[in-house]
Amino acid sequence: MLEVKNLKAHIDTTDGVVRAVDGVSFTIKPGETVGIVGESGSGKSVLAHSIMQLNPKPPTFYPQGEIIFEGKDLLQLQDKELRKIRGKEIAMIFQDPMSSLNPVFKIGDQLMEAILTHHHLPKSKAKQRAIELLTDVGIPDPEKRMNAYPHQFSGGMRQRVLIAIALACNPKILIADEPTTALDVTIQAQILELMKNIQEKYGTAIIIISHDLGVIAQMAEKVLVMYSGRIVEKGDVEDIFYRTSMPYTWSLLRSLPRIDSESRNRLLNIEGHPPNLIHPPSGCNFHPRCPFASEQCKMVDPELTKRSPEHYVACILSEMEFKEAKKRMENVEREGDLNHV
Partner 1 sequence: MSEPLLEIRDLNMHFPLKQGVFQKTTNYVKAVNGVSFTLNKGETLGIVGESGCGKSTLARTIVGLLKPTSGDILFEGESILQYHSKELHQLRRDVQMVYQDPYTSLNPRMRAGDIIAAPLKAYNQRDHLRKRVLELMELVGLKADDYKKLPHQFSGGQRQRIGIARALALNPKLIILDEPVSALDVSVQAQVINLLEDLQEELGLTYLFIAHDLSVIRHISDRVGVMYLGKMMEMSDSESLYKNARHPYTNALLSAIPLPYPLKEKKRERIVLKGELPSPSNPPSGCVFHTRCPFATEFCKGNVPTLDENNEADHYVSCFYPMENKQEEFIRQ
CA gap 11, 17 in Å, rounded: 6
Give the shortest CB-12-to-partner 1 separation in angstroms.
22
> Does residue 96 touch partner 1 according to CB under 8 A?
no
Contact 178, 212 (CB under 8 A): no
Of the candidate residues 40, 76, 124, 339, the single one contacting partner 1 (CB under 8 A): 40
Any contact of residue 274 with partner 1 (CB under 8 A)?
yes
Nearer to partner 1, 15 or 260 (CB): 260
Burial class of residue 93, CB neighbours in 10 A (0-12, 13-18, 19+): buried
- Which residue in the set 57, 273, 327, 328 belongs to the binding site for partner 1 (CB under 8 A)? 273
Q: Least distance (Å) from partner 1 to the CB of residue 218?
A: 4
Considering only CA atoms, which of 206, 165, 156 is closest in space to residue 36?
Answer: 206
d(CA 112, CA 148): 14
Interaction of residue 341 with partner 1, rule CB under 8 A: no
Helix (H, G, I), strand (E, B) or coil at 276: coil
Strand ranges inside the chain, DSSP E: 2-13, 16-28, 33-37, 60-69, 72-73, 90-93, 173-177, 205-210, 222-227, 230-236, 305-308, 311-313
The window from 84-92, 108-116, 262-270, 305-313 that contacts partner 1 (CB under 8 A) reads 262-270
Interface region with partner 1, contact rule CB under 8 A, candidates 54-62, 168-176, 186-194, 315-323: 186-194
CA neighbor of 316 nearest in space, from 272, 283, 288: 283
Which region among 73-81, 98-106, 257-265, 323-331 touches partner 1 (by CB under 8 A)? 257-265
- DSSP-derived letter for residue 281 is P
Spatial separation of the C-alpha atoms in residues 70 and 83, rounded to whole Å: 15
* Residue 17 or 253 with smaller CB distance to partner 1: 253
Give helix then strand counts, H and E, for the chain. Answer: 12, 12
- DSSP letters along 86-136, please? BTTTEEEE-S-TTTSS-TTS-HHHHHHHHHHHH----HHHHHHHHHHHHHH
The answer to the question of residue 154 lying near partner 1 (CB under 8 A) is yes
For partner 1, which residue of 39, 66, 89, 301 counts as binding (CB under 8 A)? 39
336 binds partner 1 (CB under 8 A): no
Give the range of 23-31, 50-58, 167-175, 187-195 binding partner 1 by CB under 8 A: 187-195
Report which of 94, 160, 72, 83 is spatially closest to residue 118, judged by C-alpha positions.
83
Q: Which of 73, 81, 200, 238 binds partner 1 (CB under 8 A)?
A: 238
Question: Does residue 256 touch partner 1 according to CB under 8 A?
Answer: yes
Smallest separation (angstroms) from partner 1 to the CB of 155: 8
- 312 forms beta bridges with 234, 306
Count residues binding partner 1 (CB under 8 A).
Answer: 47
306 binds partner 1 (CB under 8 A): no
Q: Which stretch binds partner 1 (CB under 8 A): 1-9, 181-189, 277-285, 328-336?
A: 181-189
Among 241, 181, 177, residue whose Cα is nearest residue 209: 177
54 is a contact residue toward partner 1 (CB under 8 A)? no
Rounded CA-CA distance 95/162 in Å is 10
Q: Per CB under 8 A, does 260 bind partner 1?
A: yes
**Sites for partner 1 among residues 198-217 (CB under 8 A):** 211-217
Instruction: Using CB under 8 A, list all residues that contact partner 1.
Output: 39-40, 154, 156-157, 184-190, 192-193, 211-218, 220, 237-238, 241-242, 251-253, 255-261, 264, 266-271, 273-274, 289
